[in-house]
Amino acid sequence: MRAPHTPALRLVDSITELGPADAGCVAVSGSHGGLSSARYALAAHPLLSVFNDAGVGKDAAGIAGLAWLQGHGLAACTVSHTSACIGLAKSTLDSGVVSHANEAARALGIEPGKALLPQLPTTIRRPA
Q: What is the pLDDT of residues 16-35, one digit of tens each?
A: 999 999 999 999 999 999 99
Does 127 fall in a domain?
A: no
User: Distance (Å, rounded) from C-alpha 8 to C-alpha 13?
Assistant: 16
Q: Helices marked H in the chain — which ranges?
A: 35-44, 64-71, 89-95, 103-107
**Short-list 33, 11, 24, CA closest to 91:** 11
Give the model's pLDDT for residue 3: 47
Does 3 fall in a domain?
A: no
In which band, very low, low, confident or very high, does the pLDDT at 109 lie, cut at 50, 70 and 90?
very high
Does 104 fall in a domain?
A: yes
DSSP 10: E
User: Distance (Å, rounded) from C-alpha 87 to C-alpha 32?
Assistant: 8
User: Distance (Å, rounded) from C-alpha 55 to C-alpha 84?
Assistant: 11
Pick the more confident residue, 3 or 8. 8
DSSP 5: T
Inter-residue contact 49 to 75 (CB < 8 Å):
yes
Give the model's pLDDT for residue 127: 54
| Three-state DSSP state, 70 | helix
Parent domain of 114: 9-119
Provide the number of structural domains found in the chain. Answer: 1
The radius of gyration of the chain from alpha carbons, rounded to an integer in Å, stands at 13
What pTM value is reported for the model?
A: 0.91
User: Distance (Å, rounded) from C-alpha 49 to C-alpha 38?
Assistant: 9
Does 41 fall in a domain?
A: yes
